[in-house]
Amino acid sequence: MSERNRIVPRVGMIGGGQLSRMTHQAGIGLGVDFSVLAADPTDSAALVAGDVTLGDDRGLDDVLAFAKAHDVVTFDHEHVPEPVLRAVEEAGGLLRPGRDALRFAQDKLRMRTRMAELDAPSPRWRAVTTLDHVASFAEEAGWPVVLKASRGGYDGKGVWVVDGPEEAGEVVDRAAAEEVPLLVEEKVAFSRELAVQVARSPHGQVAVYPVVETVQRGGICHEVIAPAPDLSEAKALRAQQLAIEIAQALDVTGVLAVELFETAEDVVVNELAMRPHNSGHWSIEGARTSQFEQHLRAVLNLPLGSPRTNAPYTVMANLLGGEDPDVYRRYLHVMAKDPEVKVHFYGKGVRPGRKIGHVTVMGDDYRDLLERARDAASYLRGDQK
Ligand SMILES: Nc1ncnc2c1ncn2[C@@H]1O[C@H](COP(=O)(O)OP(=O)(O)O)[C@@H](O)[C@H]1O
Ligand SMILES: [Mg+2]
């Protein structure tokens, strides 16, 4: 067998989900030597990557062995436990982002504490262990309040908007039984949700993307409009500067996504993700450098690419599984109906509500783009007969 000709360092991504799959896709163009640690051979990235290690993508032995086999290790999720990350770093493994940064994406209590230290605009919040704590917080902030599991949540799992003590009590009891630390936040009266991506390299170079609007339903991101229409320049700059400051203060390497709420006067930090993020999928077609390419450049300490946009607006809509798993006929129809729509599938089995892909469409009129993206997504889901 001939020797593989390696010209760039070996990047390993922990987790075989769609973020890993799309990062791999970007890595092909860059010529990056990319491999995946996936839990299952049918994971989204494991289905396509040429170099797949099957193993426990959260467990010490497999993560450690994987890190030893790569020059740089990065993540498609934040679920690798801290003791595992510590062991990898102590063994000389190079994690990007590193454990000290990742802690703030893994744990919402820590994140809130750190945001307060940085004076980043945040909702009122408090760590809570009893119903009394929640009730006394709600007396000040007013019901409803938002209870959150500090760790382990995603796509709205681990977030409960509670109207009063009875509902809050149920959440507190369940969290106590499962030993999940909780925090409570005031329910922010936001006009919409925003997100901003910034990439930061170990050299300290940063590249920030335009602020986008994210449309969430039931805790799941449904659509993204890039850039956020009619966002004031002051708020856009504020959001971008905040993202840069957070990336620097937390020593993030790779892509950082900051989820925000827009309020009448300001923007407010909701949460952080230190990896490519659903709110950045638009950038595959919509920006000179996609978030996936940018993440690879950043974790490899390469010069970053331009985050400039390719069109006045890009709209992305997530494809969620519906009741009918037979999407192929509808897939065909969506392509035929609007050839401008770019369809992305993640190779995942169809289950109701599961993110199985996304569509992207670019142009001048975001309302028209939104309508077309929504139409494609709802048709693929099987909502239209
Ligand atoms: N303090 C809050 N006030 C109002 N809505 C909130 C608040 N926190 C979260 N939400 C809503 O719940 C969604 C999910 O919360 P988030 O903390 O982002 O959890 P996840 O980790 O599941 O993404 C948010 O996108 C937003 O729609
Ligand atoms: Mg979120």
- How would you write the chain as a 3-class SS string? CCCCCCCCCEEEEECCCHHHHHHHHHHHHHCCEEEEEECCCCCCCCCCCCCEEECCCCCHHHHHHHHHCCCEEEECCCCCCHHHHHHHHHCCCCECCCHHHHHHHHEHHHHHHHHHHCCCCCCCEEEECCHHHHHHHHHHHCCCEEEEECECCECCECEEEECCHHHHHHHHHHHHHCCCCEEEEECCCCCEEEEEEEEECCCCCEEECCCEEEEEECCEEEEEEECCCCCCHHHHHHHHHHHHHHHHHCCCCEEEEEEEEECCCCEEEEEEECCCCHHHCCHHHHECCCHHHHHHHHHCCCCCCCCCECCCEEEEEEEECCCCCCCHHHHHHHHHHCCCCEEEECCCCCCCCCEEEEEEEEECCHHHHHHHHHHHHHHHHCCCC
CB 146 less than 6 A from any atom of ligand 1: yes
Residue 384: per-residue pLDDT: 73
Residues 157, 64, single domain; the answer is no
Residues 13, 85, single domain; the answer is yes
* CA 280 to ligand 2 centroid distance, Å: 13
Ligand 2 ion: residues within 5 Å (CB): 259, 271
Instruction: Quick: pLDDT tens for 161-175.
Output: 999 999 999 999 999
- Going by CA atoms, what residue is nearest to atom 2 of ligand 1? 187
**pTM, 2 dp:** 0.96
Residue 7: per-residue pLDDT: 73
Residues 81, 166, single domain; the answer is no
Q: Considering the domain boundaries, does residue 348 fall inside one?
A: yes
Contact 359, 343 (CB under 8 A): yes
How many domains are there within the chain? 3
Would you list which residues are annotated within the binding site for ATP? 108, 148, 185-188, 193, 270-271
Q: Considering the domain boundaries, does residue 85 fall inside one?
A: yes
Nearest to 274 by CA among 109, 75, 121, 15: 75
CB 124 less than 6 A from any atom of ligand 1: no
As a whole number, mean pLDDT of residues 246-259 equals 98
Nearest to 299 by CA among 44, 63, 40, 33: 33
Residue 154: per-residue pLDDT: 74
CB 187 less than 6 A from any atom of ligand 1: yes
Residues 252, 328, single domain; the answer is yes
Query: 136: domain range?
Result: 124-186
Residue 218: per-residue pLDDT: 87
* CA 259 to ligand 1 centroid distance, Å: 9
For residue 128, what pLDDT band results from cuts at 50, 70 and 90? very high
Q: Considering the domain boundaries, does residue 66 fall inside one?
A: yes
CB 219 less than 6 A from any atom of ligand 1: yes
Q: Considering the domain boundaries, does residue 231 fall inside one?
A: yes
Residues 241, 367, single domain; the answer is yes
Residues 145, 128, single domain; the answer is yes
* CA 354 to ligand 2 centroid distance, Å: 16
Residues 197, 325, single domain; the answer is yes
As a whole number, mean pLDDT of residues 229-258 equals 98
**Per mean pLDDT, which range of 94-108, 116-130, 206-220, 324-338 is the poorest?**
324-338
Q: Considering the domain boundaries, does residue 266 fall inside one?
A: yes
Computed over every residue of the chain, the mean pLDDT equals 95
Query: Can you give the CATH number for the domain in which 14 is found?
Result: 3.40.50.20
CB 180 less than 6 A from any atom of ligand 1: no
Q: Considering the domain boundaries, does residue 84 fall inside one?
A: yes
Whether 326 shows a pLDDT value over 90: the answer reads: no
CB 154 less than 6 A from any atom of ligand 1: yes
CB 271 less than 6 A from any atom of ligand 1: yes
- Going by CA atoms, what residue is nearest to atom 19 of ligand 1? 156
Distance of alpha carbon 301 from alpha carbon 349, whole angstroms = 35
CB 216 less than 6 A from any atom of ligand 1: yes
Residues 156, 220, single domain; the answer is no
Q: Considering the domain boundaries, does residue 116 fall inside one?
A: no
Residues 164, 308, single domain; the answer is no
Whether 98 shows a pLDDT value over 70: the answer reads: yes
Query: Can you give the CATH number for the domain in which 264 is found?
Result: 3.30.470.20
As a whole number, mean pLDDT of residues 279-283 equals 98
Q: Considering the domain boundaries, does residue 111 fall inside one?
A: no
Would you list which residues are annotated within the binding site? 108, 148, 185-188, 193, 270-271
Residues 171, 145, single domain; the answer is yes
Ligand 1 pocket test: pick from 270, 271, 272, 274 the residue with the most ligand atoms within 8 Å of its Cβ.
270
* CA 87 to ligand 1 centroid distance, Å: 32
CB 156 less than 6 A from any atom of ligand 1: yes
Residues 166, 76, single domain; the answer is no
Match 């900051």 to its residue by tokens.
258
* CA 328 to ligand 2 centroid distance, Å: 30
Whether 153 shows a pLDDT value over 90: the answer reads: no
Closest ligand 1 atom to the C-alpha of 154?
Answer: 22
Query: Can you give the CATH number for the domain in which 150 is found?
Result: 3.30.1490.20
Q: Of 47, 79, 95, which closes a domain?
A: 95
* CA 220 to ligand 2 centroid distance, Å: 8
CB 159 less than 6 A from any atom of ligand 1: yes
* CA 162 to ligand 1 centroid distance, Å: 13
Residues 228, 288, single domain; the answer is yes
Q: Of 160, 186, 212, which closes a domain?
A: 186
